[in-house]
Amino acid sequence: MTERFDSVVIGAGALGASTAYHLLREGQSVALLDRGRVVSETSPRAAGLSMQLRDDLISPIARLAVAKLLAFEEETGVPLRVHRSGSIKVARADADEAQIHEEVRRARENGLELDQISPERAHRLAPWFNPANAKAMWFAPGDTYMEPGDLPSAYVTAFRAGGGSVREHAEVTAIGSDAGGVTGVECRGGARIETGAVVIAAGAWSPVVAALADAAVPLWPVRHQLFTTTRIAGVDDTQPAVRIMDTRTYTRPYDGGLMFGGYEVDPLTTDLRTEGPAFAIATMPLDGAPLREMLAMVSEEFPSLATAERRELRGGLTTLVPDGRFLVGSLDPLDGLWLISGCNVGGLSTSPALGHHLAHWIATDERPEELAPFDPNRFGDTYLDQDSLREAAVRTYTHKYSSEEVGHGEVE
């Protein structure tokens, strides 16, 4: 007998796990499917940082997400460790200095606690950071970090506890439809599930899964990497993350040591439509050389990083969008087909809010205003040419933190 659920979520990473949990909370029967184990691909390899000061469209999402992270146990009954130790953003270049002032102004306008700080204060907050070259800095005390696998794992636990159905090693290989829209999915091996709502939350595989329904997804997977160190004297988990704007790098406490990651100038891109079913993030080649180059550019800022023993080089595939904004909502051409992707390297920390809003839309058929800017169909035919899509996605990736960040400060 074929099973039936109100909705089927494809992909049990951060975005799928949050959506499945919130759909269950909306009263739906839900199956959460993953081609491998839950929380096994990009999500557990993230840095786990949140930054609430974003452009005027993403900030409300980032702020709701942090509020939900801080109230996670109250909401779901499952404990989650979140460090609310704030973040520091550092300008070393003249152009970036002006942006720091502008961001402080914008934060005030929006009631977000964030202030310009002195080098002395910055060093007190993060003793492993030498701010001597800083032209200007802000500190946002409410920003958070967490160990990345903890969040989606906690959502899966809450989903299971609430009666949600989790299927591992269930790769979706077909999406069924008729004139009325989506009718169900089929998994490798032949298992079928009937449903009127299919949510594609397949991370870097989203274009592969969308193609099963003749849908195009305007994102490109880009590799992003970081490394962690063993213990360093003076580091503890109450200290903030530090972002250096001109090198597009971030550093934060990690289990008594530090974590260092950054946006490469010439990142590796991958098209999973041509990789084949054996591709997995765990076996994706990593390359420490670009991180070493970035580290050399901030060696005065983080002297202990250069000499500390490395613990792990970590990387995953993030999903970049030409305008730097999420892809969340109903996906053409089928009724009942939904997408939650286009993370732009920020999908872990925002997953509580994005999953919450999307689930509400699916369950009530009313689009939350907050999701209006993230319509997955908004580009029309503009990026059907795959070379221009890839180029635009890489541009989004390589302009992070700067005043040229795609979508920075703009309101449509």
As measured in angstroms, the least distance from the Cβ of 94 to ligand FAD is 27
* Residue 354 backbone phi and psi in degrees, to 5: -65, -45
As measured in angstroms, the least distance from the Cβ of 344 to ligand FAD is 8
As measured in angstroms, the least distance from the Cβ of 120 to ligand FAD is 27
As measured in angstroms, the least distance from the Cβ of 306 to ligand FAD is 20
Nearer to ligand FAD, 138 or 205 (CB): 205
Nearest to 103 by CA among 409, 412, 345, 349: 409
As measured in angstroms, the least distance from the Cβ of 151 to ligand FAD is 9
Nearer to ligand FAD, 28 or 43 (CB): 43
Looking only at the bridges linking them, the beta strands covering 115-116 and 136-140 are: antiparallel
CA dihedral 296, 298, 302, 308 (to 10 degrees): -20
Nearer to ligand FAD, 200 or 232 (CB): 200
As measured in angstroms, the least distance from the Cβ of 350 to ligand FAD is 6
User: How far is it between the farthest Cα atoms of the chain?
Assistant: 68
As measured in angstroms, the least distance from the Cβ of 209 to ligand FAD is 5
Q: Which residue has the tokens 């274009």?
A: 207
Nearer to ligand FAD, 27 or 190 (CB): 190
Nearer to ligand FAD, 125 or 327 (CB): 327
Nearer to ligand FAD, 119 or 290 (CB): 290
Hey, CA dihedral for 279, 158, 343, 259, is it positive or negative? negative
Residues 6+ apart with CB under 8 A from 150: 80, 81
As measured in angstroms, the least distance from the Cβ of 130 to ligand FAD is 23
Hey, CA dihedral for 61, 65, 67, 68, is it positive or negative? positive
* Residue 210 backbone phi and psi in degrees, to 5: -60, -35
Both structure tokens of 306: 């250069």
Looking only at the bridges linking them, the beta strands covering 87-91 and 136-140 are: antiparallel
As measured in angstroms, the least distance from the Cβ of 118 to ligand FAD is 26
DSSP single-letter state for residue 169: S
As measured in angstroms, the least distance from the Cβ of 24 to ligand FAD is 17
**Exposure on the CB side of residue 120, measured as CA atoms within 13 A:** 0
Q: Are 134 and 143 in contact (CB under 8 A)?
A: no
Residues 6+ apart with CB under 8 A from 6: 23, 28, 29, 30, 195, 196, 197
Nearest to 112 by CA among 46, 58, 49: 58
Binding site for ligand FAD (CB under 6 A): 10-16, 33-36, 40-43, 45-49, 171-172, 201-203, 205, 209, 224-226, 261, 314-316, 318, 341, 343, 345-350
Q: What distance lies between CA 1 and its chain's CA centroid?
A: 37
Nearer to ligand FAD, 286 or 297 (CB): 286
Q: Which residue number has the CB closest to ligand FAD?
A: 13
Looking only at the bridges linking them, the beta strands covering 181-187 and 337-341 are: unpaired
Nearer to ligand FAD, 91 or 327 (CB): 327
Q: Are 32 and 93 in contact (CB under 8 A)?
A: no
Residues 6+ apart with CB under 8 A from 283: none
Q: Which residue has the tokens 């009724």?
A: 335
Measured distance CA(155)–CA(242) in Å, rounded: 28
Nearer to ligand FAD, 61 or 235 (CB): 61
Nearer to ligand FAD, 221 or 373 (CB): 221
